[in-house]
A and B are shown apart, each in its own frame.
Chain A
């Protein structure tokens, strides 16, 4: 192998896509994911790219919507996240909603089976070892205090580097296990009216 691997810390959406983009141009990559050994308060599985909030990627309209445009730019760039999202798409009007289990399984399987990707299960607590000369930190909004403190120490801006105190509070939404028939009866689309509003969904 001519290259030392790039290390990606965190197997969420960003880390999974980063690892995929690295491997597809022939560079080896080690993807580090602490789950399921160490769970978070938000996650439920050990799968890569687990969606913890909504299951919507929002508007898929590339002509008049900025996030729809971003979808298209990613598709043209060989994105794994968009390919898996498209393959596990659910009916949601003009939005791209995905089956979260099918989506996560697909991302996990594609990365696990790629010959240049090594999936390493375990937490990287604190700064990555000095011998890793290229690292992508994609540890998300719940980055561990150890790593946060280490980075704060590096930047010399301990107080400024992480905005815990003024951070917004995100939520993940409820799912209901209701009978589909009953749910559909409650919500039905008026053929004359606009589609149900989904714009508040993240």
Chain B
């Protein structure tokens, strides 16, 4: 998008008709990674250009040398290549407004919109208090919980907690003791966040401070930062963060393999 395209788009976005919040959503704060574009637009005229519309690393093959003012990224959504996702374009605009405004984006004048944006509520347990280390409800252990309702965030995390809940339930059914994954693995780090790792800080609202989270390296036990690489050279500056992550993931996968091979686990692996 050129500067003119962007300014025109932004004006239309700011003037657009938004859906009103339902009563129970009125005090709902937005999750950080999930801000509607119209909210970002209201925060400043360049906010979107530094967010989902960031024009970095792209050039226009039809006009080489000319840098875009802002971009909209489309990500392929099906194998046929007929559906494309507008990356980062979550919105609460009314549907008619979405169609009208998104067709102002150069190249999308004739686009058909197969699925429009919307918002929904997230329901999740205060898991650190209510669930035990095997994802069982302390008040009624025949019930296990898995997925987003436990307070994990993201598709892969939900499936991972499903994987752990399934294995734990199967082990119980087979009369085996289930050993939780080591805390050094991504499985263990995520399970730890849900079932006990989180510290409820009074300043954050006490018991209510537990919030959904994606898996991230902050949930892993610290590791000694590697100082030298395999060739014995001192690791410098920017490389050190990457070296630390590599050390964390190598430790995780080694511990995971040990866990998967452990005799206490479900047989028939």
Q: A-side interface residues toward B, CB under 8 Å?
A: 3-4, 6, 8, 10, 12-22, 24-27, 41-42, 44, 51, 53-58, 62-67, 69-74, 76-79, 81-82, 88, 90-92, 97, 99-102, 128, 132-143, 148, 151, 154-157, 160-180, 182-183, 185-190, 193-198, 200-202
Pair A167/B124 contact, Cβ less than 8 Å: yes
Q: List 8 A-B contacts (CB under 8 A).
A: A128-B143, A162-B124, A168-B28, A174-B98, A176-B86, A180-B81, A183-B74, A197-B56
Pair B147/A140 contact, Cβ less than 8 Å: yes
Interface locus among B9-17, B100-108, B225-233: B100-108
Pair B187/A73 contact, Cβ less than 8 Å: yes
CB distance from B230 to the nearest CB of A (A): 14
In the complex, which residues 3-42 of chain B have their Cβ closer than 8 Å to any Cβ of chain A? Answer: 24-25, 27-31, 33-34, 36
Pair B147/A155 contact, Cβ less than 8 Å: no
Select B84's contact among A14, A63, A176, beta carbons within 8 Å: A176
Pair A154/B77 contact, Cβ less than 8 Å: no
Pair A13/B155 contact, Cβ less than 8 Å: yes
CB distance from A33 to the nearest CB of B (A): 13
Pair A88/B79 contact, Cβ less than 8 Å: yes
Pair B114/A177 contact, Cβ less than 8 Å: yes
A residues in contact with B124, CB < 8 Å: 141, 162-163, 167
Question: What's the tally of chain B residues with a CB closer than 8 Å to chain A?
Answer: 123
Q: Do A174 and B33 form a contact, CB below 8 Å, given A67-B154, A162-B123, A164-B24?
A: no
Pair B143/A21 contact, Cβ less than 8 Å: no
B residues in contact with A179, CB < 8 Å: 110
Query: Is chain A's interface secondary structure helix, strand, loop, or mixed overall?
Result: loop
Select B75's contact among A97, A101, A137, beta carbons within 8 Å: A97
Q: Do A177 and B113 form a contact, CB below 8 Å, given A66-B216, A169-B34, A169-B120?
A: yes
Pair B73/A187 contact, Cβ less than 8 Å: yes
CB distance from A157 to the nearest CB of B (A): 7
Select A20's contact among B166, B185, B257, beta carbons within 8 Å: B166
Scoring B72, B91, B119, B207 by chain A CB atoms within 10 A of each residue's CB, the highest score goes to B119
Select A169's contact among B107, B122, B214, beta carbons within 8 Å: B122
Pair B111/A15 contact, Cβ less than 8 Å: no
Instruction: Give the nearest-CB partner of A133 in chain B.
Output: B142
Pair A74/B156 contact, Cβ less than 8 Å: yes
Pair B84/A17 contact, Cβ less than 8 Å: no
Q: Do A140 and B149 form a contact, CB below 8 Å, given A173-B86, A196-B57?
A: yes
Select A101's contact among B78, B117, B170, beta carbons within 8 Å: B78
Judged by a CB distance under 8 angstroms, whether B203 is at the interface is no
Binary contact readout B77-91 vs A (1 if CB under 8 angstroms, 0 otherwise) = 111011111111111
Instruction: Give the nearest-CB partner of B119 in chain A.
Output: A169
Pair A193/B149 contact, Cβ less than 8 Å: no
CB distance from B141 to the nearest CB of A (A): 9
A residues in contact with B86, CB < 8 Å: 173-176
Judged by a CB distance under 8 angstroms, whether B224 is at the interface is no
Pair B112/A99 contact, Cβ less than 8 Å: no
In the complex, which residues 210-230 of chain B have their Cβ closer than 8 Å to any Cβ of chain A? Answer: 211-212, 214-217, 219-220
Judged by a CB distance under 8 angstroms, whether B177 is at the interface is no
B residues in contact with A82, CB < 8 Å: 159
Instruction: Give the nearest-CB partner of A190 in chain B.
Output: B59
Pair A13/B162 contact, Cβ less than 8 Å: yes
Pair B107/A3 contact, Cβ less than 8 Å: no
